[in-house]
A and B are shown apart, each in its own frame.
Chain A
Amino acid sequence: MPTVRFTRNIQRHVECPTEEVVGTTLAMALESYFGSHGPARGYVLDDCGRLRHHMAAFIDGRQIEDRTGLSDPVGADAVIDIVQALSGG
């Protein structure tokens, strides 16, 4: 199963433990994660469902391409990292 793990910085505001999820796209994987960690959603995605402007997502170390639709494919054993983009300061 894919695994989602989060930057340590976000843990100061909302609990985001590393967890296994289900899904074959980033959108599906995150939806799976937010199903059990609802408060984290607004810290990662904006109110249009896009990856927040100064957040970044990697799948197996590869930066995602679709920040709006989150359609990047996720392999069965992929590791998804949600981190801060340094552009945000």
Chain B
Amino acid sequence: MSSRCHVSTRKGLFTLERGAEGWRIVRTSFLGDNVTLTANDERDGSLYAAINHGHFGVKLHRSRDGGATWQPIATPVYPPKPEGYVPKTPVEGTPADWSLKLVWALAPGGTDEPGALWCGTLPGGLFRSEDHGESWTLNRSLWDDPRREQWFGGGADHPGIHSILVDPRDSAHVKVGVSCGGVWTTRDRGATWAPTATGMRAEFMPPERQFEPNVQDPHRVAQCRQAPDVLWAQHHNGIFLSEDGADSWREITGVEPSTFGFAVAVHPHDPKTAWFVPAVKDEVRYPAGGQVVVTRTRDGGRTFDVLREGLPQQHAYDLVYRHALDVDGTGDGLAFGSTTGSVWLSDDGGDSWQRISAQLPPVYAVTFER
């Protein structure tokens, strides 16, 4: 099981380690700063942290010593708009500004492409680095696709790429999840892209447009490492499952207490096992009945366990953001953090939970070191 976990929060990065007496916070980094995401590159052990300074913009940092020290690296830069360019207005919101608003996804490339990184951003840009983040290039094929201009914000004012899934069998095969723009797939390392959200349903659209792939709002998409054709999505409208590499999706219904939420994690070896942290749907967004629970399926979505041992069951209003639930490489270790600053870990696949802290800053992401 993983013995280290990084918690990205509104006021810094907190590193947890498993010791003889259980998990505890062993280090703080960037204290006071808005750490929006942390990624672990298990190919070389590097850590990457995204920071949104607000006034001073978005920055990226890299650590090569497990988070003891950090060095600034390049931040993705959008190219200038072409002369005479007139942006199209998406279905909701305003045309995308060609300017970085937020780093929303960081993913290492395949094992056969050391140093390669993917970065998803608001407003809907996908960048790639070949040199461990020393420089970044916007993927123009996706950015210049006219359908990209139809993406729109879900919650944020800008659309964003929040999930990047590199197929462990073929590093040229990559999927991205977009709020709101569905799921897109490349099989040639980003040279060409196709929307792959058929079957997803967007209740927030007019009836005749609810099944359009490009308007879907998957909040988070997760891929089974050992069976990469199985993908789970926590969508704005519920839970969706694909068993054919995102060629098609089907909705999983009837899950109590709710199918609304932001986060999803899938077992690295068992594609039928996935975890969610539900909330009352979308107008209010708090745990049903003020009770924090995790839902888990072990049979591909036919049935779900409602896991609550160790989780607060009275007047708890913790919301768990899309990057704030993670599973380790064994599938037994789980962690999640909430908007009200609680962090829980489980060593038994979610059967029971230990609260590490109840007073951290709002949690944006948790990341196991693998």
The answer to whether B57 touches A43, judged by C-beta atoms less than 8 angstroms apart, is: yes
Bound: A9/B53 CA distance, A: 11
Bound: A19/B99 CA distance, A: 29
The answer to whether A39 touches B72, judged by C-beta atoms less than 8 angstroms apart, is: yes
Residues of A64-89 contacting chain B, CB below 8 A: 84-85, 88-89
Residue of B nearest to A53 (CB): B55
Cross-chain pair count, CB within 8 angstroms: 42
Residue of A nearest to B33 (CB): A13
The answer to whether B80 touches A54, judged by C-beta atoms less than 8 angstroms apart, is: no
The answer to whether A55 touches B55, judged by C-beta atoms less than 8 angstroms apart, is: yes
Residues of A4-49 contacting chain B, CB below 8 A: 9-10, 13-14, 39, 42-44, 46-48
Q: Given the known A-B contacts A47-B78, A48-B98, are A89 and B54 also in contact in the complex, defined by CB atoms under 8 Å?
A: yes
Residues of A contacting B78 with CB < 8 Å? 47-48
The answer to whether A9 touches B55, judged by C-beta atoms less than 8 angstroms apart, is: yes
Bound: A39/B75 CA distance, A: 11
The answer to whether A88 touches B54, judged by C-beta atoms less than 8 angstroms apart, is: yes
Bound: A88/B79 CA distance, A: 25
The answer to whether A52 touches B100, judged by C-beta atoms less than 8 angstroms apart, is: no
Residue of A nearest to B79 (CB): A47
The answer to whether B99 touches A13, judged by C-beta atoms less than 8 angstroms apart, is: no
Q: Given the known A-B contacts A39-B72, A47-B77, A47-B78, are A52 and B98 also in contact in the complex, defined by CB atoms under 8 Å?
A: no
- A72–chain B nearest beta-carbon distance, Å: 20
Q: Given the known A-B contacts A39-B72, A42-B75, are A13 and B100 also in contact in the complex, defined by CB atoms under 8 Å?
A: no
Main SS class of interface, B: loop
Bound: A10/B72 CA distance, A: 15
The answer to whether A54 touches B100, judged by C-beta atoms less than 8 angstroms apart, is: no
Bound: A79/B262 CA distance, A: 49
B85 is an interface residue with CB less than 8 A from chain A: no
The answer to whether A47 touches B99, judged by C-beta atoms less than 8 angstroms apart, is: yes
Residues of A contacting B53 with CB < 8 Å? 13, 43
Size class of the B contact interface (CB-based, 8 Å): 10 to 19
The answer to whether B72 touches A52, judged by C-beta atoms less than 8 angstroms apart, is: no
Bound: A37/B128 CA distance, A: 26
Bound: A47/B98 CA distance, A: 8
- B13–chain A nearest beta-carbon distance, Å: 15
- A33–chain B nearest beta-carbon distance, Å: 16
Residue of A nearest to B32 (CB): A12
B54, B56, B57, B77: most-surrounded residue (chain A CB, <10 A): B56
Bound: A54/B56 CA distance, A: 8
Instruction: Report B93-134 CB contacts with A as 1/0, cut-off 8 Å.
Output: 000011110000000000000000000000000000000000
B59 is an interface residue with CB less than 8 A from chain A: yes
Size class of the A contact interface (CB-based, 8 Å): 10 to 19
The answer to whether A88 touches B99, judged by C-beta atoms less than 8 angstroms apart, is: no
Bound: A42/B80 CA distance, A: 16
The answer to whether B77 touches A13, judged by C-beta atoms less than 8 angstroms apart, is: no
The answer to whether A85 touches B100, judged by C-beta atoms less than 8 angstroms apart, is: no
Residue of B nearest to A10 (CB): B56
From A46, A85, A89, give the contact of B57 (CB < 8 A): A46
Q: Given the known A-B contacts A47-B78, A48-B99, are A54 and B55 also in contact in the complex, defined by CB atoms under 8 Å?
A: yes
Instruction: Report B53-80 CB contacts with A as 1/0, cut-off 8 Å.
Output: 1111101000000000000100101101
The answer to whether B77 touches A52, judged by C-beta atoms less than 8 angstroms apart, is: no
- B124–chain A nearest beta-carbon distance, Å: 15
The answer to whether B100 touches A47, judged by C-beta atoms less than 8 angstroms apart, is: yes
The answer to whether A48 touches B57, judged by C-beta atoms less than 8 angstroms apart, is: no
- B320–chain A nearest beta-carbon distance, Å: 24
The answer to whether A43 touches B98, judged by C-beta atoms less than 8 angstroms apart, is: no
From A43, A50, A89, give the contact of B56 (CB < 8 A): A43
Q: Given the known A-B contacts A47-B78, A48-B78, A48-B98, are A88 and B55 also in contact in the complex, defined by CB atoms under 8 Å?
A: yes
Bound: A42/B55 CA distance, A: 11
- B341–chain A nearest beta-carbon distance, Å: 19
The answer to whether B75 touches A85, judged by C-beta atoms less than 8 angstroms apart, is: no
Residues of A contacting B77 with CB < 8 Å? 47
Give 3 nearest A-B pairs by CB, closest first: A43-B56, A47-B77, A54-B55
Identify 14 new A-B residue pairs, CB closer than 8 A, beyond the known A14-B56, A43-B57, A47-B75: A13-B53, A13-B56, A42-B56, A42-B57, A42-B59, A46-B99, A47-B77, A47-B99, A48-B80, A52-B55, A52-B57, A54-B54, A85-B55, A88-B55
